Amino acid sequence: MTGADLKHDVVQWIEENRHLERHPLAWRLRVAERLADHEDMARAWHELARHRVPDGRHVMSLTFQSFEDAHRECRRLPSTDEAERIDAVVKAVRQLRDAIARAPFLDNAHFIDMDGTHAVLAWRASGAPVAEMHRAVAVPLCLDSLLEYAENEIPAIAARQPGRTIGKQRDDPELLSFVRHLAAHFQHRYASKMMGTIARIANTLYNPAEPVTKQRVEKALRHPSQ
């Protein structure tokens, strides 16, 4: 089994799972594509092959699990004050959507200029087809669809913000959590943490401003609270 073979396993999985494009698990396709295509991964696959990893999909699955676990670990519940402010925003968005739905003369679409970018704005879904007709010359927008997205996503976006203690750390807490989870999986499955490979996978997924090195991975594993 070579590094190229392991990469091919992932590429094959991607082709077999294109149906996930419009699924909540579409993020897995994006992660798999990075594992298959990113320039840093060539050496990672080679090292994984040297450790006799039998299938690239095993590594991909462990990466998925570590990515999810890190995200879940770094989520937090907002404080009472934050929750009230979030609820106020959601309520205001909901009221605006209701007002747009009841207002007269908003069934059409209108050309607008946003700092040089041409767009066609539809107030509500009834005008969206008109906006789509002009896609060749302008960006079609539907205000009600944007507000619906905001209404649904604001609580989740707030939950993804790091907590106050975590926020004081120098490094991205979710990235460091990912490193620790993946190292634990590698140690259990392959009897080696393969810290250089973990650094390359972390760079591939998170693209941090300061690239992760083998030394940073070693430090993160040695000092979990930092």
* Residue-level pLDDT, tens digit, the chain, 226 residues: 899 999 999 999 999 999 988 888 899 999 999 999 999 899 999 999 999 999 999 999 999 999 999 988 876 556 677 778 888 998 999 999 999 999 988 888 889 988 888 999 999 988 888 888 888 888 899 999 899 888 877 766 665 554 433 333 346 888 999 999 999 999 999 999 999 999 999 999 999 989 999 999 999 898 765 4
Q: Where are the domains of the chain?
A: 3-75+169-222, 80-159
Q: Calculate the alpha carbon distances from 220 to 191, 198, 226 in Å.
A: 19, 12, 7
Are the C-beta atoms of residues 202 and 212 closer than 8 Å to each other?
A: yes
Q: 0.85 cut: is pTM over it?
A: no
CA 24 to chain centre: 11
